[in-house]
């Protein structure tokens, strides 16, 4: 019995290792090729690079305008995430605490909207943004707040529903106004779900491509995903630079993952299960 257990565990462990290899294989291939010259890549994509040659990284770094692209990505991601967490928690709180027909209708509208694919509203949205002179970074942020609010409000709503209102009422009796009640009593209670919402926002905003490509695809404003297109023309693909650029674009994500892995895993699971 014991021996069987050990054999079973080792087989499972081997399967895990094998699968892990399959999952990181593309990253390894990119890393390998990012140190090769284009000629070396043509010779073989599987061989080890002749030397640790950082030329590709240097060139990709300047062509990506790496720091500026990262700054643009960060600007959008951080601003919208902060706004989303603040505004959606406020909105969800009043939607839960005011039990009126209006609040039910508004909440239903937010919930139903998660089914709407972007392509369905893309064209009228662009034309509307154009009319309002919102084809810009701030415009993109406003629209992203609107798109993100559906999911976030659902998550906050689900959580706040189960927070008893007594504490808030007690504070109100002591003379605190509603706004103060929210910021001093409610905000600390919903820290956990706020982290979940923030993580989900960061992930979708950092990787967003289509809407930014339609609104801020101008020199100096481009985010990291927009910039990577530079290396992959329709006819010429500079895979030596391209793989270096892809590695550089993936690095911030990996750093983020390693730093807040616990929160990410918790956030994603909660986001999926409760949403």
Partner 1 sequence: MRKSKGVFWLFLAPCLLTFLLAVVIPMLTGIYYSFTDWDGVHSNCDFVGLRNYIKVFQDSYFRNSFVFTILFVIVSVCTVNILAFGLALLVTQKIAGSNLFRSIYFMPNLVGGVLVGFAWQFIVRDVFDSIGQMLHMDFLRGWLSTQMTGFWAMVIVVTWQMSGYMMLVYIAQIQNIPDNLLEAAAIDGASGFQQFLKVKLPLMMPAFTIGLFLTMTNCFKLYDQNLTLTNGGPSKSTEMLTMNIYNTAFVTNQYGQAQAKGIIFLIVVALITVSQLLTTKKREVEM
Between 24 and 51, name the residue whose CB sits nearer to partner 1: 24
State in Å, rounded, how far the first CA of the chain is from the last one: 43
Distance CA 198, CA 82 (A): 8
Q: Which residues have C-beta within 8 Å of that of residue 200, sequence separation ≥ 6?
A: 151, 152, 155, 267, 268, 271
What is the smallest separation between the CB atom of 91 and partner 1, expressed in angstroms? 4
Residue selected from 78, 142, 187, 189 as contacting partner 1 according to rule CB under 8 A: 142
| Rg (the chain; Cα; Å) | 24
Residue selected from 38, 49, 65, 182 as contacting partner 1 according to rule CB under 8 A: 182
What is the smallest separation between the CB atom of 62 and partner 1, expressed in angstroms? 19
Residue selected from 64, 85, 91, 244 as contacting partner 1 according to rule CB under 8 A: 91
What is the smallest separation between the CB atom of 102 and partner 1, expressed in angstroms? 8
Residue 84 burial (10 A CB sphere; 0-12, 13-18, 19+): buried
Distance CA 118, CA 232 (A): 25
Residue selected from 87, 187, 189, 195 as contacting partner 1 according to rule CB under 8 A: 87
Contact 144, 73 (CB under 8 A): no
What is the smallest separation between the CB atom of 187 and partner 1, expressed in angstroms? 12
13 alpha-carbon distance from chain centroid: 31
Question: Which residues, numbered 35-64, are part of the site for partner 1 (CB under 8 A)?
Answer: 41, 44-46
Q: Does 20 contact partner 1 by CB under 8 A?
A: yes
What is the smallest separation between the CB atom of 144 and partner 1, expressed in angstroms? 8
Question: Which residues, numbered 215-274, are part of the site for partner 1 (CB under 8 A)?
Answer: 225, 228-229, 232, 234, 239, 242-243, 246, 249-250, 253-254, 256-257, 261, 264-265, 268-269, 272-273
Residue selected from 143, 151, 155, 200 as contacting partner 1 according to rule CB under 8 A: 143
Placement of tokens 């659902």 in the chain:
154
Between 54 and 98, name the residue whose CB sits nearer to partner 1: 98
Residue selected from 55, 82, 104, 146 as contacting partner 1 according to rule CB under 8 A: 146
Residue selected from 72, 149, 194, 222 as contacting partner 1 according to rule CB under 8 A: 149
């Amino acid at each position: 019995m014991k021996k069987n257990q050990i054999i079973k565990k080792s087989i499972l462990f081997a399967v895990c290792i094998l699968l892990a290899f399959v999952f990181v294989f593309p990253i390894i291939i990119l890393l390998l090729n990012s140190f090769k010259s284009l000629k070396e890549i043509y010779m073989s994509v599987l061989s080890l690079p002749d030397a640790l040659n950082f030329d590709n990284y240097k060139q990709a770094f300047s062509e990506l305008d790496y720091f500026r692209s990262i700054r643009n990505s960060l600007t959008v991601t951080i601003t919208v995430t902060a706004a989303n967490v603040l505004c959606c928690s406020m909105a969800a709180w009043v939607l839960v605490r005011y039990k009126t027909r209006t609040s039910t209708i508004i909440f239903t509208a937010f919930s139903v909207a998660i089914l709407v694919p972007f392509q369905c509203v893309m064209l009228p949205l662009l034309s509307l943004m154009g009319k309002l002179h919102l084809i810009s970074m701030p415009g993109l942020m406003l629209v992203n707040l609107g798109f993100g609010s559906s999911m976030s409000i659902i998550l906050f709503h689900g959580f706040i529903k189960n927070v008893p209102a007594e504490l808030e009422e007690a504070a109100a009796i002591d003379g605190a106004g509603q706004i103060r009640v929210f910021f001093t009593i409610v905000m600390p209670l919903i820290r956990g779900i706020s982290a979940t919402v923030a993580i989900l926002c960061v992930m979708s905003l950092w990787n967003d491509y289509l809407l930014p490509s339609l609104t801020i695809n101008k020199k100096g404003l481009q985010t990291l995903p927009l910039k990577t297109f530079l290396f992959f023309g329709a006819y010429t693909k500079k895979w030596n630079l391209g793989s270096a650029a892809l590695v550089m674009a993936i690095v911030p994500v990996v750093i983020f993952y390693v730093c807040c892995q616990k929160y990410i895993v918790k956030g994603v699971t909660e986001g999926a299960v409760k949403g």
